[in-house]
A and B are shown apart, each in its own frame.
Chain A
Amino acid sequence: MSERLRRLADVLVGYSGRVQPGDLTVIQGTMNVEPLLEELYGAVLRAGGHPAMRCAPEVEALLLDEGSDQQIEWLNPAELEDIEQADVWIVVDAPANTKALTSVDPERQGRVQRARRGWRERYLERALAGELRWVLTGYPTNGAAQDAEMSLAEYEDFIFGAALLDDGDPVARWRAFADELHRVVEFLGSKEELRFVAERTDLTFAVGGDRRWIAADGHENFPDGEVFTAPLDESAEGEITFTFPAVFSGRQVDDVHLRFHQGEVVEATASSGEDFLREMVALDEGARRVGELAFGLNEAVRVFTRNILFDEKIGGTMHLALGSAYSECGGTNRSALHWDMICDLRSGGEVYADGELVYRDGRFLL
């Protein structure tokens, strides 16, 4: 494992974050990912950067449980310093218990999301301006393995496989994969309308105009492998059923079915967690609209593991996110929410671009 961790750290620092000498590099994670944080620290030093370690215990449930409204809305000025001054930001997201927040009042979670909105936007603004390079990655923990219904050893193989790290030269593999993704982006970039058809799903989006497709090729997420855009705000029309559970902020909602009219959710149902779903959709004006539309294209990610970082990249799936759009796609929707939900298209799913069948059973017909 330690050899793989070192390789993961080297790819994150050298390929994803492109740490240069003198770069102030924030490394953020929880204490259960300490071995990877240490490897990252060493890799940043070897690249000539200045590592700033931000390691914290998992106190979010405690804060939400025992903190006052004022305390849960408090924003740490130290974090704003990081947001304003970091050149590179590497986040390792791997909670010890992925369901620790299940019983928290959704209204309180909404309050936290709203309070953090300004800083989240500032972070993305600096990223968009090219002043900050960020990358989000995972780490094999028992909690994550449990969600994936795997042993820890199986889950390690899954993660390092998805990250293409078992290859002799992982950076070369990622460059080749990036080329593939860019070809898909070029193809989709010429289309005006996409229609997704699957079981209890027939949903149309407009994706033309000033909207751009972006290849997610291992720079902001790692592992990676998707292409995404922001559909026109008022264009979503029809219904969609998400085959995989939708997980947000530690809460799981099953069998989400959404109906859209003129870009807005007009009906939201679920077999479990429907209250939470409704609370989030009503969070603010933008939470009703689709901020992101994407194809998962990493063929090394085959199975659902209840971790959005991996699930949204499953080769043969599509996902949309309710809430904020990425402005680098030309998206304009603003919201404190960004909730990715995934639909498996591998058995019988079809996608039509400007009326022409371009994708079937999880693969582009290019």
Chain B
Amino acid sequence: MATVVTETRRGAAIPACLFAWLLPGAGHLYLKRTVKGLVFLGAIGTLFALGVAMDARLQMSLGLDDILASLFSLAQMAIGAPYFAARAMGFEAGQVTSVTHEYGNTFTAVGGLLNILVILDAYDTAVGRKP
């Protein structure tokens, strides 16, 4: 019986991680951890939305010519669909002359980095390591 439960949970781990990446908190909502999921969705979603409102740069920069810019882009992309939606809506370039530009960059990157921790938490929850 324990083996069946473990296998069922392992089966839920991949979709939970995928949902968690696509939308902050969605992995926990999928795993029926409603309060956690809503807090993650609210907090990380607000971080990202405020970052975009503060003129963050969302340009994709992947490659080895500028490692820091690539890491920054990866951090922002970790927030999933909101990043690509904001780019599609025209918030890609940001506004470097804005007084809050660097704050916006920090908010969006930290939101993505926190979402990586949330994805790992969803995995741990799915396989039974966390309640």
A, B from the same assembly: no
Q: Which residues does B use to contact A, with CB under 8 Å? A: none
